[in-house]
Amino acid sequence: MLSPTLFFLIGLIGLASLAKPTAAETALPNIVLIFADDMGYGDLGCYGHPTIRTPNLDRLAGQGMRMTSFYSAPGCVPARKQLLLGRYPGRVHTNGNTGVNGRGGLPDSEVTLAQALKGAGYSTAMLGKWHLGYREERFLPVNKGFDSWFGLPYSNDMIPPWVKTEVPLWLYEGTERVEHPVDQDTLTTRYTERAVKFLERDHDKPFFLYLAYNMPHMPVRTADRFRGTSRAGLYGDVIQTIDWSVGEVMKTLKRTGYDKNTLVIFTSDNGPWLNPPARMLQEGNLLWHAGSPGPLAGHKGTLLEGGVRVPCILRWPGRIGAGQASAEMAATLDLFATLVQAGGGSLPSHKIDGHDLRPFLFGDTNKSPRKVHYYFGSRMPGAVREGPWKLHADRRLFHLDIDPAERFDRAEEKPEIVAKLKAKLDGMKKEIAGK
């Protein structure tokens, strides 16, 4: 018969074992961040598209959380500032254009997501579109925290006849220019093949893979084997190529055993390019080579919901519950703070605008920490959302839970909400202006 003392000791051991976190809870996660270009809110099957088939992304959503009030920015460059710096674009000055004829780039004072994770011991890799400076080598991804980079320095349309320039578009490997003219038909599949090779390595430390597809930005292109496979035309073919790519990434994570402790995020930089300038509608580009904002109004380049609200899927087995859909508000801004802190890194000393989403993602609370979101189209915010209410700078007010298409202006009915949100918008403008 066991003595009372022995029973007590066994009980203590049992309690200690119950309190001890599992390996999955204590190990730093691998991170795969997939960023599409100009993909609309309604382009995926799991977000309601009637004819584009996206079984791999639909499966990813079923294994994690699908967010329906997730915000990026209305254009390529501000979206990438928000994602990789966790700061509203009005705070970040590149001292010039970062596209084909520009000389600007991220200043050394900014800390990228890759730099913060590398400082925490991560290996880092980037595949795809950069668009944050290229004219000087110090602006390239390999000098901004990424151990490697294979991709384009800016958007794939920045070549004749769509853009008047004599600067050739090069495909880069690190700091070396390796291909011109670029075979855009195979860009997506080549990025995916490189991603698979990276994931197949024998990693001795956690990794961060940033996979920033150039598609479905016009001119839309895809490999021969995907052309004509979608009921939604060439644009649908391009989306289904990206879906195949996500499937290849997920199969590789499972095959290599990394999937159980890898946080996978899929999202887009902005809404669909439904109003391309006349310069784009040549050489086979057509108006319908663009996506769908779903039930939302607006498109790329606007601060309407269709320009800035994008699909976002997050999967982390054992940490993020499967099969969830949430209308709680969050943004690309929040991914910086969330991923840096999940990776054991330190946030920069300067102000960031993101929140750590982990308590919300892990189910510790059913409320997102993001209560207010400012919509930046340029240096100054042009709209603000708090709770369900969104106020544009011209004082149109919409209740987004009831009216996500922004059809019914409620400003006359709710002057107190207009006044409250205008004060917030004015306050952010003063903060950005440094007053």
For position 414, which CATH number holds? 3.30.1120.10
Token representation of residue 28: 């730093």
Q: Please indicate, yes or no, if residue 35 is contained in any of the structural domains.
A: yes
Q: Which amino acid is at 24?
A: A
Same domain? For 366 and 385 the reply is: no
**Number of domains comprising the chain:** 2
435 residues of the chain, pLDDT tens digit each: 445 444 444 444 444 444 444 444 558 999 999 999 999 999 999 999 999 999 999 999 999 999 999 999 999 999 999 999 999 999 999 999 999 999 999 999 999 999 999 999 999 999 999 999 999 999 999 999 999 999 999 999 999 999 999 999 999 999 999 999 999 999 999 999 999 999 999 999 999 999 999 999 999 999 999 999 999 999 999 999 999 999 999 999 999 999 999 999 999 999 999 999 999 999 999 999 999 999 999 999 999 999 999 999 999 999 999 999 999 999 999 999 999 999 999 999 999 999 999 999 999 999 999 999 999 987 999 999 999 999 999 999 999 999 999 999 999 999 999 999 999 999 999 999 985
Q: Please indicate, yes or no, if residue 18 is contained in any of the structural domains.
A: no
Q: Please indicate, yes or no, if residue 422 is contained in any of the structural domains.
A: yes
Q: Please indicate, yes or no, if residue 12 is contained in any of the structural domains.
A: no
How much is the pTM?
A: 0.94
Same domain? For 347 and 405 the reply is: no
- pLDDT number for residue 377: 85
- pLDDT number for residue 83: 98
Q: Which residues contact 209 (CB under 8 A, 6 or more apart)?
A: 30, 31, 32, 33, 124, 125, 126, 127, 195, 198, 199
Phi–psi pair at 86, nearest 5 degrees: 70, 25
Q: Please indicate, yes or no, if residue 57 is contained in any of the structural domains.
A: yes
Catalytically annotated residues: 76, 131
Same domain? For 304 and 397 the reply is: no
Q: Please indicate, yes or no, if residue 146 is contained in any of the structural domains.
A: yes
Longest CA–CA span in the chain (Å) reads: 90
Same domain? For 333 and 402 the reply is: no
Same domain? For 124 and 54 the reply is: yes
Domain boundary among 371, 391, 422: 371
For position 66, which CATH number holds? 3.40.720.10
Same domain? For 276 and 350 the reply is: yes
Token representation of residue 121: 């011991």
Same domain? For 98 and 188 the reply is: yes
Rounded-to-integer distance, Cα 44 and Cα 312, Å: 11
Q: Please indicate, yes or no, if residue 235 is contained in any of the structural domains.
A: yes
Same domain? For 287 and 309 the reply is: yes
Domain that includes residue 421, residue range: 380-433
Token representation of residue 162: 């769509």
Domain boundary among 349, 371, 393: 371
Nearest residue to 243 (alpha-carbon basis) of 30, 31, 72, 49: 49
Same domain? For 264 and 337 the reply is: yes
Same domain? For 209 and 104 the reply is: yes
Rounded-to-integer distance, Cα 401 and Cα 382, Å: 20
Q: Taking the CB of residue 301, how many other CB atoms lie within 10 A of it? A: 17
Rounded-to-integer distance, Cα 343 and Cα 207, Å: 10
Q: Please indicate, yes or no, if residue 237 is contained in any of the structural domains.
A: yes
Same domain? For 99 and 186 the reply is: yes
- pLDDT number for residue 3: 53
Domain boundary among 341, 371, 401: 371
Same domain? For 363 and 241 the reply is: yes
Rounded-to-integer distance, Cα 104 and Cα 221, Å: 28
- pLDDT number for residue 156: 98
